[in-house]
Amino acid sequence: MTNKTLYVETDSLEFKEAKTTGWVRCIIGDAFDVDTRDAQYKGKRRQDFFARWDIRDKRDHSVHNELKRPVYRKEVKYIPPDGDVQSREVFEFKVNKTWTKSRMKQHVIGLVTQAVNNTGGDNVQSFDFIPTTWQQRAIEFIAESLDAGKTTLMLELAARFGKTGTLTQLFSYSDVDVMVVTNYVKTVNTSFADTVVKFFSDHMICLDAKDENFSDELKTAIDAGKKVLITCALFNGSKLDKAIRDITAIPNRFVVVDEADFGAHTARQRAKVEALRADVPLILMTGTNADRAASSHNIDAHLAVTYMDMLMECDN
């Protein structure tokens, strides 16, 4: 049996173009060694390999044929080769122009996953998240703290700890419906959204509170029983107040302040954090200057992990 990998890749500028056209153009191909193929293009173009599936002994043309079926017609277009398009593997996916890049990726991954599953066989997404020893310990610390009734936690974690994966893994396996990720700078750290797309797209939906259709998308996801990760910038004017009301209407949630030592911790910004976390747990994460991060909150439990601690536990 062969070990083929199906991949989706695009030029990163296609996401910018999709903000105008409402369609994001991608290539769906297969290879025995995707990493080598990916390396061939580094430095030559703005290539973005953003999803892969182990398709065993299948071929990409079976997925192509599936996506060409009439049932996909409203959401997927096959682009045949011509003067501008030389590949036979080009498809366009209909997206909402207001979506973030990560939300567009997630939508494409969902449609391709459906096509892969419909072709039959043992199809497994090749991205897996395996927590390190120190990440497992952090997850245990959070769970034990919350079980003990501690609701405001400080995680002071060294660089390269993998804070994003740790929190997303915790959320994935918890019984919480919504995780809100915010911070005190003008843009929310997009690494959470990128990690969701890469490792957890089959587990949860990622939404941005500033998206035009946020309220409707949040309701749809919750009604469908999906777990929802929300990125929520604190600097978002009047739209943020409406988003906060929508978010706090969901009681089964927790709130994360990412890079909690950065930005202007004004009374107005702190009030927004308190509104988001009303009656639910708050987790502050930072790599440095934990005292500043903690100054605006009454910390119930504090976990500090240094780079040396990680080296001592480097057994996987």
CA distance 194 to 272: 24
pLDDT of residue 277: 93
Structure tokens at 123: 């199809």
Indicate if the pLDDT at residue 1 is higher than 60.
no
The alpha carbon of residue 262 and the mean position of all alpha carbons in its chain are separated, in whole angstroms, by 21
Task: Judge whether 79 and 67 are in contact, CB under 8 Å.
Answer: no
Q: Taking the domains of the chain in order of start, what are their residue ranges?
A: 4-125, 133-312
More confident residue, 280 or 201: 280
Taking only the tens place, the pLDDT of each residue in 260-271 is 887 667 778 888
Indicate if the pLDDT at residue 316 is higher than 50.
no
pLDDT of residue 186: 65
Taking only the tens place, the pLDDT of each residue in 13-47 is 999 999 999 999 999 998 888 777 776 666 566 78
Taking only the tens place, the pLDDT of each residue in 120-162 is 766 677 777 788 888 989 999 999 999 999 999 999 998 888 8
More confident residue, 188 or 197: 197
CA distance 183 to 231: 9
Indicate if the pLDDT at residue 11 is higher than 80.
yes
Q: Identify the CATH class of 133-312.
A: alpha beta
